[in-house]
Amino acid sequence: MKSIEWIGNALRILDQSKLPVELVYRDATSYESVAEAIERMEVRGAPAIGAAAAYGFALGAFEYKGSKADLSSYMDVVQARLAATRPTAVNLFWALRRMEDRLRECWDIEDLDEVRRLLLEEAHRIAEDDRRMNRLIGEYGNEIVPEKANILTHCNAGALATVEYGTALGVVRKAYEAGKEIHVYADETRPYMQGARLTALELHRDKIPVTLIADNMAGYLMQQGKVDLVIVGADRIAANGDTANKIGTYSVAVLAQAHGIPFYVAAPTSTIDLKVATGQEIPIEQRPAKEIQEFCGVAVAPGEVNVYNPAFDVTPAKYITGIITEKGIVVAPYSVNLLKLMVRP
């Protein structure tokens, strides 16, 4: 299963809101349809969102029918629409900046078809970079996975959250490919159930041993000595190492520290945002109330009850054993070592 794939003149999107019941693909032929797919979480996961937005930017250029002189102002509208879809995942803004930079480099080119071709080429490059980075994350992360490890993960940071392979699940996949007898506990990840619907699906399809648990079981498993390490993904990492990830991650990190269990974050360097000093500056997306009030369209709470539904929380750096990237594993002090990592070729 591929979360996104460019086919012909469209971005083919796997509608993850339908999984695991239905395998539904749709072709996005406009930047607006890409934006809507991101907002509706048909495509989700920070790296996949970034790559999808890059293709959405290119689609915007293909839609444009005006003169070269007005292209820049039109693309500003395209970029603003895509940037407004989900505020927490920094890969979205990283990818759009790359596309904007590529557009600027094309400014002296009068042939609009050539500009469009070059923008699409850049979107392809962003997607390919994600594939490459995920594989490297897997290789570096495999170094910290012991033989016969029981790994706990939260949410979905696999192939469905990226262009291919995955970040946290990329580490799991590499360890399994290396012949290690590993086992994964997948938190269900309420309220959107990405762990149950997506992570369990990915691992089961790949024949990697997985056991699905309710979110409130994680502490008990740790108490029973059934978890050797925790690996999660990330949507934004601040300069001091504070990390935003799916709601519930912070609770898992606190439990892991209380039980002396290593807690790792796996993410590409495109998820590191040195412009944000600490996690307190990371914007946290608020999701619709019905995601908690309903499950698969069935009411599970009074419709008139007040709902608080942040999509992410922030895990302070002090709870993070290490951050696994495509350039290696970073450890504390993060404010120093993340900066060194980002300037490294």
What are the residue numbers of the active site? Answer: 235
Structure tokens, 61:
């250029």
3-state DSSP assignment of residue 235: coil
Q: How far, rounded to the nearest angstrom, does the alpha carbon of residue 260 sit from its chain's CA centroid?
A: 27
Q: How buried is residue 278: exposed, middle or buried, by Cβ count under 10 Å (0-12/13-18/19+)? A: middle
Q: What Cα–Cα distance (Å) separates residue 283 from each residue in 133, 158, 191, 247, 287?
A: 25, 23, 19, 13, 13
Beta strands in 117-220 (DSSP E): 150-153, 183-187, 210-213
Beta strands in 83-192 (DSSP E): 150-153, 183-187
Q: What angle do CA 72, 76, 78 make, to 5 degrees?
A: 115
Q: What angle do CA 284, 327, 227 make, to 5 degrees?
A: 65
**Residue 240 is which amino acid?**
N
Dist. CA 182–CA 196, nearest whole Å: 19
At residue 206, φ and ψ (nearest 5 deg) are: -90, 5
Dist. CA 117–CA 61, nearest whole Å: 9
